[in-house]
Structure 1
Amino acid sequence: MSQNTTRHYTSEQYLLPADTEETERLNHQHAWITQAFENRLHIAPVLLNTGDKVLESAAGSGIWALEFEAENAANGRIIDMECVDITNKQFPHQHPPNVHFSINSATDLPLDWVSSFSYAHQRLLIVAMNDSLWKKVVKELYRVLQPGGWIELLEVEAQELCFDVGPQSKKLVSLIKAMYGAKGIIGNLGTYLPSILTQAGFTQVGFERRDVPIGQSQADGNERKIFIRSKYWQNLWKAMKEPVLKGGGYGIVETGEEYDELLQDCGGEWDNSDKAHTTYYAVFAQKPL
């Protein structure tokens, strides 16, 4: 089985690569998620002041952190931001001096960060996590938050996948579910995350949900339109080609070329459907005072 890939993968556990192509995808993804949540960069009811410390866990390209810092600065608040990831390959080359980037794992944050942060934000770690890792992450975020601090985890629904709108996309959904099952990936994060946050000691647990179309546009009451181009959704699954092939194609595909053709066909189905969508959850909670 030929893999035909030059993508850079940081770990066996995380199904997505860390390279320039993935950085571009992450930045587009950031734009459409932010737009889906009415251009809000955070959902948690956190009130920050100058000098407060904010953590972005699994920062990736750092685009959320840079925009969040700029938004606060525009409102007269200069915050101190720590951005961590398991690799520095996607960190921005330029950033304000009060935004710091370092190589650290979400499951093992620095010991001296105890009760340091007023707010901790983490986005889309679903394809790196299983049950035990999720619990480690939540425990670490609880440890580094100040009493009264807020956590926000933005994740995607992966149990009820709503983009199987044709024969090819149904094949892809079968493949995804088989791969996620083999990796122990938790799919129902809209119910799972509030539960483990409560178990970890967080209070004021809540969430907001958004269903976002793939390959279509949708207008809300203000005539604001959300555009999700199916090619970027294809690129998400294309980025997982190496793990798919390492898993033997999960009974759906046998070669990289066959997988590429499947994704191309899925794009056509999504572009011709008004039902294909994905669901995002912004889950938030507070560490008790």
Structure 2
Amino acid sequence: MNEQPTARYYASKQYLLPADNVETQRLNTQHNMIVNAFGGKLFVAPTNLTTGDRVLESAAGSGIWALEFFEKNRTEGVTLDIECIDISSAQFPSTHPSEVHFSVNSVVNLPNPDWTDTFSFAHQRLLVAAMNDTLWRSAVAELFRVVKPGGWVELVEIEAQDFSTWSVGPNSTKLASLINALYGGKGVIGDLSVYLPVILKEAGFVNVQCDPRRVTIGGEVDATPHKITEVKGYGSDMWRDLWMGMKGPVIEAGGYGAVDTVEEYEALVQGTEVELKNSKEAYTTFFAILARKPENT
């Protein structure tokens, strides 16, 4: 297969989603949905932050979480110093408060020793499509190093192993199988709700917890709440855009025996969108995985 898959911008070969304006818009919409899924909360860790505390936002993207977190705390009389990092600056905002800093850094190799025991809270969201076992272990070790004793880490991830919850027809089932093959080829860890608590404990974290939240996918034809959760989740178009973002890696890898052309992949994703729009059964699960660095570290 020698087709040029897309004109999207990908910041690395390891991360399966693009880093461009289209993806920024998708992520910002998704941000609002995730916050809603967690009861309108930007975070669930039992932090007790005060003015001057430093916060790390890893995989910051457009910075939407960090900017809202900064404003929320400021309205409550707490002014934080927030460090936002990502492997690419392509999605960074052009303007932001002076207390919110953006830099190109990777969570697997944070500034050392400058950031050791620095952050009262570290937040990271949706790196599932960027990481393998080696990278996750490096990231967790680095987060343990840079968080202050007594500080919290919150890792928000999505179910990426059991795709049967959104396999509601022939197209979505075929797409789920294809994505599973893509993840396998990249060494993606799918069961992060099980995997991350284990390696967090191995790294020395305590009070490790996992808070799951199910969200719907599609079902726009019926306004009746989903039978499992009343949380409004992904529209079928949002779910379509997520997998359209992975078109480049899929085509570059040869289609995994499921598709042979760009057009076939696009048709598969669009067919999935139709199935989900007409389904009242599809859902996925987000997990907020929390851990605290011991006080006596």
TM-score (norm 2): 0.94
The reply to whether residue 192 of structure 1 matches residue 198 of structure 2 is no
Write out per-residue CA displacement over residues 11-39 of structure 1, whole angstroms, 9 at most, x where no aligned residue. 11011111000100110110101100001
Alpha-carbon offset, residue 261 of structure 1: 0.5
Distance in 2 separating the partners of 1:62 and 1:157? 23
Counterparts of 1:130-141 in structure 2, within 5 Å, are: 130-141=132-143
CA contact (8 A) 2:37 2:233 kept: no
Instruction: Give per-residue Cα distances to partners, 1:109-149, cap 9 Å, x unaligned.
Output: 11110000000000000011000100000000000000000
What letter corresponds to residue 148 of structure 1 in structure 2? G
Aligned to 2:150: 148
- The 8 Å contact of residues 206 and 283 in structure 1, kept in 2 or not, is answered as yes
Asked whether 1:63 is paired with 2:69, we answer: no
Judged with a 3 Å threshold, the aligned counterparts in structure 2 of structure 1 residues 206 and 139 are, in CA distance, closer, same or farther, namely: same
- Letter matched to residue 260 of structure 2: E
Partner of 1:104: 105
Q: Distance in 2 between matches of 1:37 and 1:122?
A: 15
2:255 aligned residue: 249
Equivalent-residue separation in structure 1 for 2:40 and 2:70 (angstroms): 15
Identity %: 54
Q: How many Å separate the matches in 2 of 1:122 and 1:144?
A: 14
Whole-angstrom CA distance in 2 between matches of 1:103 and 1:260: 32
Matches within 5 A, 1:1-289: 1=1, 2-111=3-112, 112-161=114-163, 162-216=165-219, 219=225, 226-289=232-295
Q: Which whole-Å CA distance do the structure 2 matches of 1:73 and 1:122 have between them?
A: 21
Contact 1:3 1:255 in 2 (8 A): no
**Aligned pairs, how many?**
287
**Residues 209, 291 of structure 2: 8 Å contact kept:** yes
| Shift of residue 213, structure 1, vs aligned partner | 0.5
Distance 1:243 1:225 in 2: 31
Contact 2:70 2:80 in 1 (8 A): yes
Q: What is the identity, as a one-letter code, of the residue corresponding to 1:184? A: G
| Equivalent pair of 1:15/1:240 in contact (CA under 8 Å) | yes
Counterpart amino acid of 2:60? Answer: A
Residue 225 of structure 1 and its aligned partner are, at CA, apart by 5.3
By how many angstroms is 1:228 displaced? 2.2
Distance, in Å, in 2 between the alignment partners of 1:248 and 1:134 is: 26
Please report the RMSD computed on the Cα atoms of aligned residues, expressed in angstroms. 1.4
Looking at structure 2, the residues matched to 224 and 93 of structure 1 have their Cα atoms a distance apart, in angstroms, of: 36
Contact 2:214-2:231 at 8 Å conserved across structures: no
| Conserved 8 A contact 2:37-2:231 | no
SS at match of 1:260: helix
Once the two structures are TM-superposed, the CA of residue 211 in structure 1 deviates from its matched residue by 1.0
Q: CA deviation at 1:246?
A: 1.0
CA gap of 1:149–1:218, structure 2 versus 1, over 3 A, is: farther
How far did residue 247 of structure 1 move?
1.1
d(CA) in 1 for partners of 2:272 and 2:98? Answer: 43
Contact preservation (8 Å) 1:218, 1:225: no
- Write the distance in 1 (CA, Å) between the matches of 2:124 and 2:192: 14
Distance in 2 between residues matched to 1:91 and 1:189, nearest whole Å: 27
Normalised TM-score (structure 1): 0.97
Aligned equivalents of 2:130, 2:231: Cα separation in 1: 31
Shifted more, 145-154 versus 210-219: the winner is 210-219
Asked whether the equivalents of residues 153 and 292 of structure 2 are also in contact (C-alpha less than 8 Å), the reply is: yes
Q: Distance in 2 between matches of 1:136 and 1:279?
A: 25
